[in-house]
C-alpha cells in the first residue's frame, strides 16, 4: 500500500457505490467517522459526528470505537491521538495541514516563551503536538474567553498562535496577553469592501463573524463566535438572512438546519470566487475516506514523550469546559 502522497494511493474498484461501501467498511472495521463543519458536504453527510474543534476533541475522548477516522486537518487527528493513544486515529490525507498551525513553529514558540518568563501559556487548539507540549492550557474559539476569564486577574499570559483571536480575547476580557503573530489564511482573506457592499444590498441581513477574522471584519459583526456558536445563532435568531464570514463549509449545516433562511458566504479579496474555502479541509474526499477505511491508513502517530506532555493542557481545557458547563 502506497501512502507516499499522504493518503492511500490505491485504485477505486469500478462501479463501487462509495457511500454504501464506506458505511459497510465502517461497521466491519469498528470505526467511527468524525467530520469538522468545514468538510465537503458529502463528507459531512456520511459522518457519524459533525462538530467544531472543541466538539471533535471532546468526542475523541469519549467514543468507544477502537478506530477514529477524523475528517479534518492534521492537528485535529493529532489531538484525538493525544487523547486516545491506544486507538487507531486516521486522517484520510495527512497532508491536510493548517496555515495557522504552520505559523507557529515549536522552536520559535519556545524562544518566545523563554523571552517572556513567568507567563502562563494559552494555546489555540490549531497547533502541533510540539506546541501543545509547551502549553499550560489549550483553548478553542468556543471556550477561549471563558478559559482566559478563569485565570487569576493578575496572571501574565502568552496567547498563541492566532493574533486575531488573541487580540479579540484581549478586547473582551480586558487582559493584555502577549499575542503570537500567527493567522489563518482563510479567515484573513475576507474583503471588507465586498462585505460592506453585500450589507448594503441586504439591509436585513445579520453579519456572522468567526474570531479568527481581523478587527475591521469583527467590527461590523452582529455576532462573533466559533463555528458552532455561529450555527446556533443562525438557528435561534429571528432574522431570515445572514452574511457568513467564516469557511463556507458551515453554510451546508446552516442551510440544512434552517431551510427557510438565506445564507450568503462572505467573499475573499482575491479573484471572482463568491466564497472562501479552506483548501486543506477540502483535501478530504470520499475516495480518500473509502481507501483509508479499507486499508486503515494513513495513521496519525505522535511521539509518546511529546503526547504525555501535550495531553495535560488538552485535558485541562476539557475539564475547565466541563466545570463551566460549556460542554457536558
Which phi and psi angles does 21 have, rounded to 5°? -65, -40
Q: Is 227 in the site for ligand 13P (CB under 6 A)?
A: yes
* 7-66 binders of ligand SF4 (CB under 6 A): 38
Instruction: Report what 80 binds from ligand SF4, ligand 13P, none; CB cut-off 5-8 Å by kind.
Output: none
Q: How far is the CB of 37 from ligand 13P (least distance, A)?
A: 7
Q: Is 98 in the site for ligand SF4 (CB under 6 A)?
A: yes
Is residue 190 within 8 A of residue 217, CB to CB? The reply is yes
The 10 Å CB-count burial string (b at 16+, else e) for 54-83 is bbbbbbbbebeeebbbbbbbbbbbbbbbbb
Instruction: Report what 53 binds from ligand 13P, ligand SF4, none; CB cut-off 5-8 Å by kind.
Output: ligand 13P
d(CA 119, CA 157): 5
Q: Is 104 in the site for ligand SF4 (CB under 6 A)?
A: no
Radius of gyration for the chain, computed over Cα atoms and rounded to the nearest angstrom: 20
Q: Is 123 in the site for ligand 13P (CB under 6 A)?
A: no
Instruction: Report what 99 binds from ligand 13P, ligand SF4, none; CB cut-off 5-8 Å by kind.
Output: ligand SF4
Return the SS3 of 259. coil
The 10 Å CB-count burial string (b at 16+, else e) for 244-271 is bbbbbbbbbbbeeebeebebbbbbbeee
d(CA 4, CA 47): 26
* 147-206 binders of ligand SF4 (CB under 6 A): 184-186
C-alpha cell at 189: 482573506
Q: Is 188 in the site for ligand 13P (CB under 6 A)?
A: no
d(CA 144, CA 155): 15
Instruction: Report what 140 binds from ligand SF4, ligand 13P, none; CB cut-off 5-8 Å by kind.
Output: ligand 13P
Is residue 222 within 8 A of residue 242, CB to CB? The reply is no
Strands across the sheet containing 157-160: 137-139, 120-124, 157-160, 178-179
Instruction: Report what 52 binds from ligand SF4, ligand 13P, none; CB cut-off 5-8 Å by kind.
Output: ligand 13P
The stretch near ligand SF4 (CB under 6 A) out of 96-104, 138-146, 189-197, 253-261 is 96-104
Return the SS3 of 309. helix
Interface residue with ligand 13P among 39, 53, 135, 321 (CB under 6 A) is 53
Instruction: Report what 141 binds from ligand SF4, ligand 13P, none; CB cut-off 5-8 Å by kind.
Output: ligand 13P
Nearer to ligand 13P, 22 or 72 (CB): 72
The stretch near ligand SF4 (CB under 6 A) out of 13-21, 93-101, 115-123, 153-161 is 93-101
Interface residue with ligand SF4 among 58, 79, 88, 99 (CB under 6 A) is 99
Residue among 31, 36, 124 nearest 73 (CA): 36
Q: Is 247 in the site for ligand SF4 (CB under 6 A)?
A: yes
Is residue 124 within 8 A of residue 140, CB to CB? The reply is yes
Interface residue with ligand SF4 among 25, 46, 113, 281 (CB under 6 A) is 281
Binding site for ligand 13P (CB under 6 A): 52-53, 126, 140-142, 184, 212, 226-227
Residues that bind ligand SF4 (CB under 6 A): 38, 73, 98-100, 126, 184-186, 247, 278, 280-281
Amino acid at each position: 500500500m502506497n501512502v507516499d502522497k499522504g493518503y492511500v494511493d490505491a485504485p477505486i474498484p469500478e462501479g463501487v457505490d462509495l457511500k454504501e461501501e464506506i458505511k459497510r467498511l465502517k461497521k466491519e472495521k469498528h470505526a467511527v467517522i468524525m467530520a469538522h463543519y468545514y468538510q465537503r458536504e458529502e463528507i459531512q453527510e456520511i459522518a457519524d459526528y459533525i462538530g467544531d474543534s472543541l466538539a471533535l476533541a471532546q468526542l475523541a475522548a469519549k467514543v468507544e470505537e477502537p478506530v477514529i477516522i477524523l475528517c479534518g486537518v492534521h492537528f485535529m487527528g493529532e489531538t484525538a491521538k493525544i487523547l486516545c493513544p491506544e486507538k487507531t486515529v486516521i486522517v484520510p490525507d495527512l497532508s491536510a495541514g493548517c496555515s495557522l498551525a504552520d505559523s507557529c513553529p515549536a522552536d520559535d514558540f519556545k524562544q518566545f516563551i523563554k523571552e517572556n518568563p513567568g507567563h502562563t501559556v494559552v494555546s489555540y487548539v490549531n497547533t502541533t503536538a510540539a506546541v501543545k507540549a509547551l502549553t499550560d492550557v489549550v483553548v478553542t474559539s468556543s471556550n477561549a474567553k471563558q478559559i482566559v476569564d478563569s485565570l487569576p486577574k493578575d496572571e501574565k499570559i502568552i496567547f498563541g498562535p492566532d493574533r486575531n483571536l488573541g487580540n479579540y480575547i484581549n478586547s473582551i476580557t480586558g487582559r493584555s496577553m502577549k499575542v503570537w503573530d500567527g493567522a489563518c489564511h482563510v479567515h484573513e482573506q475576507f474583503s471588507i469592501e465586498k462585505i460592506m457592499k453585500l450589507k448594503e444590498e441586504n439591509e436585513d441581513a445579520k453579519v456572522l463573524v468567526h474570531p479568527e477574522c481581523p478587527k475591521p471584519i469583527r467590527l461590523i459583526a452582529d455576532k462573533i463566535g466559533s463555528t458552532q456558536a455561529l450555527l446556533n445563532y443562525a438557528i435561534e435568531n429571528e432574522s431570515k438572512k445572514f452574511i457568513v464570514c467564516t469557511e463556507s463549509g458551515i453554510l451546508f449545516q446552516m442551510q440544512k438546519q434552517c431551510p427557510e433562511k438565506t445564507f450568503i458566504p462572505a467573499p475573499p479579496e482575491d479573484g471572482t470566487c463568491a466564497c472562501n474555502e479552506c483548501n486543506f479541509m477540502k483535501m478530504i474526499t470520499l475516495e480518500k475516506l473509502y481507501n483509508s477505511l479499507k486499508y486503515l491508513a494513513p495513521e496519525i502517530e505522535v511521539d509518546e514523550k511529546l503526547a504525555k506532555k501535550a495531553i495535560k493542557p488538552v485535558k485541562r481545557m476539557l475539564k475547565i469546559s466541563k466545570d463551566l458547563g460549556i460542554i457536558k
